[in-house]
Structure 1
Amino acid sequence: MCSLIELRPNKDLLDADFSGYRLSLDPVPIYHHKLQEEVDHVLPSDDQYSFLHVKVFGLQNHLYGDPWARDDVYYVDKRWRVHKSVKNRNTDLLDGAMEVWEMPSNHVRKRGHYNTSLSFPSPELAVLADGAGTLHVVSTGSRIATASIGVLFSDEVCGKEKPFTIVDSRVNESCNRQEIHVLLQWVDQVKEQDEHVTFVTKLEWITLSKGEHQDWSLQCARQLSGVGGLDYAALEPGCCSLYIASGKPFHFDSDSESAVDKNEPRGSKMEETQIQYVWCQTAEDITVWVQVPEETSRADLNVTVDTNYVKVECKDLVLLEGSTWHCLESQCTTWALDRGKLEVTIVKSEQGLMWQELVKGDTNGKEVLAQALVEEMHQGLTHLCSDREVTDPSGNCAPAFNAQQLEECDAFPLETSLLVRLDARTHDVSHRITLGGHQWLFSVPVNVNSVRAICLRHDVDGCVWQLEPPQENKQWPCTHIGTFPAFGYVQASKQQKKFCTCAPDMSYVAVCEANRHVYIYQQPVAIATELRNRRTGQHVACTAKQQLVNLDSVSEVLGVHASFHMLYVLTVDTLYALRVNYSSSAES
């Protein structure tokens, strides 16, 4: 059965007293290198017009960071030459770029191809795709020293001249044999029209195995598809499962190692069962309605409510039974019967906590929103929609934000997004996290031994979550590891936003627009001197800085990468390095 996981932020990582970012006029040192050849940048053809194509082409990051060498970045030029950034040995600052490898031109670039892509599954291996259908696996040696490239594998793994991009890659040891797992993505056209759906997102999960003679061969190929766009996909450490965040569910189409059940995968959506009860919730309690025969009397009914258990019986028929999502105040339960309609009211033990389910794993119930809750939500958002500035009772302006910063992108997606764990052996969804109400912001590599961390909007904040493989209790750990105060709010005002990223230590977060502008938001830091608010007189213990950087180029921004104290930005013809959070003792 699919397990539902709830995202509960760590209150110790939230700052309820955050008063906003202060615009800093401190200059941000900028270093740049003019490229000898422009970056390889492919635009969609006339046949690639869907929203899925827009996401694949428009949001691809052309600047590739090395997880094992945080200050090293790579890009590919129009001649398919891979370049690596070069740092000055004395200053550790950007000093240019050097060519490290040239991909073979197996196919001439033409319309319909994808952009080149690059991924680093280990400290000594790299995986590259030419966007024309060929996947290359190369040995780089120690990339911290001078890299020496040697081709280990090269083939059209998805079919003859079938273009794709690389989403993720990982090295795994299985039965004393080294494996490379690579996740590929492309957009395919559906042959049979199905409710006007003409394009689907395809994922190809391939496994390469190292033989006795040090040669690499294709061992396994799994294919998945989904109607909607892809926000996030990652191979689980151990390579036995796949993590996917999307608006619509993905499912396995084929697996070369085991047959795929063509029926609807269990857990990909709730099974269509007859609704036996309806429930709604407020911040304090839950009301359940159950339809019973009109001739039913109170003596025929038995309602049992414990701390984390509920059971409703009508004569010998069990209408509702199981463990509740959270704890209850069992002594406060009331119920009434009126003309065949049983109404049970139970009180939450933790008020203000909204439940995802009434009974864990029970699909026989349907939740409806309480009218009072809807009105309360609208009332609470009124200040965000008003054209009047919000003031506190003393007449002072509200300290944090104003309604003019709200943009269309501040609204949540109409479709509820899902973050799921797909098991490679059973082809089913083993765990699921509902992201409804949590706007997707970005993903970033924080730990080389873990999947990319994800940043979601919670209220006005941006919360960073780290996913880990399930433990012995079969729970899927999703740990809240950091918070960017009010970032969910401030990023919504950036209409031209293209990329978001943060430092590995989460000391700063950056928003990069499509052209020129880069916004840097640094975490609050303690103030050594005495500082008080002139209006309220309150002592200010820490401040958070916002910095705006204007690049000296109008060329489109194609990529971004954040290290501990450098923010790299790639345009069509220039590589920039912005010096952020730098000190002589900073960790490189």
Structure 2
Amino acid sequence: MSIFTSVIKPNRNLLNPKFEGYRLNIFDDEKHLLRVPLPEPGINIPKVPVNANLSYNEMHSLVHYNHLFAGFTADIGNALYFDSELQIILVEYDLIKDSIIMHPLIKLPKSTTISGSVSSSCYPSLRALSATLLLASNGLGNIYLLKISRNVESQVVTAEIIKNINFYGYSEVGDDAAIKKTVITPCVLLDGKIIDEGESAQIYFIVYNVLVSKYSSSSSLSTSSQKTSKKLFDVTLLQMSLDASSSGAEVKHVLRGPDIPLYCALDMKGEGYIIGCTGEYSVLSLNNANISTSEKEQEILEEKQCDENIKKEEETKDESSPPYLWTQTDSDVSINFQLPPGTPKTAVHCSFSKTHLSLTIKLPGNSSESSSSEPSSTSKSPSIPCYAFTNLHDEIDPSASLWTIESKIGLLTLYLEKQNRGTRWMHVFKHDDGVLETLDPNEIAEFRERLEKFTSSSTDGQPFASTLHHPIGHEIEESIDYEGRYVKFFWIEKQGNITAKFAGGSHEFLCPQFECFGRKDIESSINRFPSVCLKYDVDGLVYEFQHSSGFPPITVTHVSTFDAFGFVQASKREKRHLFHDPLNRFIMVLERTHRAFIYWHIEDQTKRDFGKQTIVDIIGESKDEDVLGVQMVADSVILVLLTKTIVVIKLS
């Protein structure tokens, strides 16, 4: 089957090169802000542990996870969240009375059967299918179909479980069994819809789960076979009947890829769905015992090469101390290693090729064997880096790359000049070693200050190796951001055929639109597929999707522009959530701590030299709360979920 391939292109008539900036618009907190305490026990989102073995994609998903879910709005706007006891709470906002009512619906059971080969770091998720039906996952592999009931006299709202299915994982790369019917796999709901298929209604829903593929690889630098692992992500389309007599769910197909989808939306007729991601997905074959993988994935598995010395270091080193700190710009990558104070320049042996790095340290008085990456026997000495012809994440210009060492403090810095400027490295080496990028330049400066402090005085007794911390040990929310995610969009038929691909080119993913279910006044004016805002140069461009039965199956059209938004959002280092209005009137940046920034779109071309910016202080006097989620529940009415409070922002 032929695949339609195209590149997303902006409409030049919708760009505004004369735009000069945003002017502040005063927001009246007393009139347009409502704060209501959450009922007990509230919400307690556990912190990510320092030694969590999570990939960049998993960490990004956890940090920016939206814990407030869109409800199916009728006369009263509503949204839903899970409290600390896995109880679903329905939040209703009455626009006329300007009041909030919260209804505890049901407490979901917790599963204890979790695969040891998959990540269990899945938050509970929920999709509103209709005004009375919810699809919910407890994050542990159990999916429930819930029916909402309302007592008209007492106005008590409850929910009951009418169906319960278990989600099972799929084989690891190299295993024989395609589906492990004995292992329940943690998963997250991406989308779900009720589809009318004649005699009976069906529920189509999409989940993703993390797969840890384990395999052996023979290194050319070592005679022994090494056991390594790689994080992959499965996206599964399932079908479940609404008929009470039927049980279970049918797997329609499974996609496997290198990252978590940035965007996923089912067609209202159930013909397929659109998925947005940074990498390529392959469709798995479930007709035989073995799951097929793409040639590209096999190539990655076969090319895996690790030095035996590095492997030993990973098995014995302190989990809280990564081997290096690194940061990047559009043109280069900087890597900082901690060496023993006084290490001379002659001890460093470093060379670059277009695709590889070689680095060994031979300290004076040590034999060649002692220059391996085995950590020192004393905790007060840093481990010595050793990378023997190691694959880099992307190509570099070796002639423009260099290294420097500050012997006094033992700071070794590598400067790698990117061959492909403007691309963003997800990690330093081709095979992710789990070291996250240090996005805050202050952290590098603090690292240098600690080195200078500890080398100038040895009286404090603090272990030298403890001065280099994993970014997760700090506020990880400030270390994971939105920039650099060049996106592609695919149309996937329900049979599992990929029939259309739209490359983003120089577009980077910023955010989707707020979802509004059941609001006739809003849905009549918007596309059924949620639109997306993509960064193009300095602007934020809104693109809509249209599906047709012809060829191509979908089109991607530039419909609106938020002037300079791509530039201004990059300065918000603590941003947690980004969404834009379904009618493209405004776009919101929600910080982790206490502020929301709203940037307004100006329709009148003659008045687009300046835009309007609104700043909302969400938390107010209370400074010990974090932002956990956000949803639009009515026209220009936004609900923000905090640790202890629900906040209503009325923008009209």
What does residue range 17-56 of structure 1 map to in structure 2 within 5 Å?
17-28=18-29, 29-36=32-39, 37-44=41-48, 46-56=51-61
Deviation at 1:455, TM superposition (A): 1.1
Q: Secondary structure at the match of 2:566?
A: helix
Indicate if the aligned counterparts of 1:201 and 1:229 stay in contact, CA closer than 8 A: yes
Distance change in 2, residues 1:177/1:511 (3 Å):
same
Deviation at 1:104, TM superposition (A): 2.9
Partner residue, 1:131: 139
Indicate if the aligned counterparts of 1:446 and 1:453 stay in contact, CA closer than 8 A: no
- Give the partner amino acid of 1:178: A
What does residue range 486-501 of structure 1 map to in structure 2 within 5 Å?
486-501=564-579
Indicate if the aligned counterparts of 1:208 and 1:220 stay in contact, CA closer than 8 A: no
Indicate if the aligned counterparts of 1:183 and 1:205 stay in contact, CA closer than 8 A: yes
Where do 5+ consecutive residues of structure 1 fail to align? Answer: 270-376, 379-406, 528-538, 583-588
Deviation at 1:87, TM superposition (A): 2.9
Partner residue, 1:546: 613
Distance change in 2, residues 1:229/1:109 (3 Å):
closer
Partner residue, 1:81: 87
What does residue range 399-418 of structure 1 map to in structure 2 within 5 Å?
413=484, 416-418=486-488
| 1:438 and 2:497 aligned | no
Within 1, Cα distance between the matches of 2:151 and 2:587? 27
Partner residue, 1:187: 210
What does residue range 102-141 of structure 1 map to in structure 2 within 5 Å?
102-107=107-112, 112-140=120-148
Distance change in 2, residues 1:48/1:412 (3 Å):
closer
Partner residue, 2:372: none
Pick 1 or 2: higher relative contact order, CA cutoff 8 A, min separation 6: 2
What does residue range 140-539 of structure 1 map to in structure 2 within 5 Å?
140=148, 147-158=157-168, 160-192=183-215, 198-211=230-243, 214-255=245-286, 262=292, 264=294, 413=484, 416-425=486-495, 427-445=496-514, 450-524=528-602
Q: Secondary structure at the match of 1:419?
A: strand
Within 2, Cα distance between the matches of 1:142 and 1:96? 14
Distance change in 2, residues 1:18/1:197 (3 Å):
farther
Deviation at 1:424, TM superposition (A): 3.4
Partner residue, 1:10: 11
Deviation at 1:106, TM superposition (A): 4.4
Q: Deviations over 1:82-139 (max 9, x none)?
A: 1122334743x24342212222344499993521111112333211111122101112
Report the number of matched residues: 432
Indicate if the aligned counterparts of 1:253 and 1:260 stay in contact, CA closer than 8 A: no
Query: What TM-score comes out, normalization by structure 2 length?
Result: 0.59
Indicate if the aligned counterparts of 2:143 and 2:167 stay in contact, CA closer than 8 A: yes
Deviation at 1:3, TM superposition (A): 1.0
Indicate if the aligned counterparts of 2:103 and 2:158 stay in contact, CA closer than 8 A: no
Partner residue, 2:311: none
Indicate if the aligned counterparts of 1:134 and 1:156 stay in contact, CA closer than 8 A: yes
Indicate if the aligned counterparts of 1:132 and 1:161 stay in contact, CA closer than 8 A: yes
Indicate if the aligned counterparts of 1:75 and 1:83 stay in contact, CA closer than 8 A: yes
- Give the partner amino acid of 2:61: V
Deviation at 1:151, TM superposition (A): 1.9
Deviation at 1:579, TM superposition (A): 1.7
Distance change in 2, residues 1:143/1:263 (3 Å):
farther
- Give the partner amino acid of 1:198: K
Within 1, Cα distance between the matches of 2:20 and 2:479? 24
Deviation at 1:5, TM superposition (A): 2.3
- Give the partner amino acid of 1:34: P
Deviation at 1:50, TM superposition (A): 1.5
Indicate if the aligned counterparts of 2:207 and 2:235 stay in contact, CA closer than 8 A: yes
Distance change in 2, residues 1:191/1:162 (3 Å):
same
Q: Secondary structure at the match of 2:275?
A: strand
Within 2, Cα distance between the matches of 1:193 and 1:44? 29
Partner residue, 2:67: 62
Q: Secondary structure at the match of 2:19?
A: coil
Within 1, Cα distance between the matches of 2:27 and 2:64? 30
Q: Secondary structure at the match of 2:62?
A: helix
Q: Secondary structure at the match of 1:140?
A: strand
- Give the partner amino acid of 2:4: S
Indicate if the aligned counterparts of 1:133 and 1:160 stay in contact, CA closer than 8 A: no
Within 2, Cα distance between the matches of 1:113 and 1:90? 40
Within 2, Cα distance between the matches of 1:408 and 1:40? 21
Within 2, Cα distance between the matches of 1:248 and 1:11? 28
Distance change in 2, residues 1:410/1:127 (3 Å):
closer
Q: 1:567 aligns with which of 638, 641, 646?
A: 638
Q: Secondary structure at the match of 1:122?
A: coil
Q: Secondary structure at the match of 1:56?
A: helix
Deviation at 1:501, TM superposition (A): 0.9
Within 1, Cα distance between the matches of 2:84 and 2:278? 34
Indicate if the aligned counterparts of 1:503 and 1:564 stay in contact, CA closer than 8 A: no
Indicate if the aligned counterparts of 2:531 and 2:582 stay in contact, CA closer than 8 A: no
- Give the partner amino acid of 1:23: L
Deviation at 1:549, TM superposition (A): 2.0
Q: Secondary structure at the match of 1:492?
A: helix
Deviation at 1:178, TM superposition (A): 1.2
Partner residue, 2:413: none
Indicate if the aligned counterparts of 2:27 and 2:615 stay in contact, CA closer than 8 A: no
- Give the partner amino acid of 2:644: D
Within 2, Cα distance between the matches of 1:40 and 1:435? 37
Indicate if the aligned counterparts of 1:501 and 1:510 stay in contact, CA closer than 8 A: yes
Deviation at 1:177, TM superposition (A): 2.0
Within 2, Cα distance between the matches of 1:540 and 1:480? 21
Deviation at 1:486, TM superposition (A): 1.6
Indicate if the aligned counterparts of 2:114 and 2:183 stay in contact, CA closer than 8 A: no
Within 2, Cα distance between the matches of 1:142 and 1:12? 50
Deviation at 1:437, TM superposition (A): 1.0
Indicate if the aligned counterparts of 2:233 and 2:259 stay in contact, CA closer than 8 A: yes
Partner residue, 1:338: none
Within 2, Cα distance between the matches of 1:226 and 1:169? 21
Deviation at 1:559, TM superposition (A): 0.6
Distance change in 2, residues 1:121/1:48 (3 Å):
farther
- Give the partner amino acid of 1:435: G
Deviation at 1:147, TM superposition (A): 4.8
Within 2, Cα distance between the matches of 1:143 and 1:492? 48
Partner residue, 1:342: none
Q: Secondary structure at the match of 1:490?
A: helix
Q: Identity over aligned residues, as a percent?
A: 18
Q: Secondary structure at the match of 1:547?
A: strand
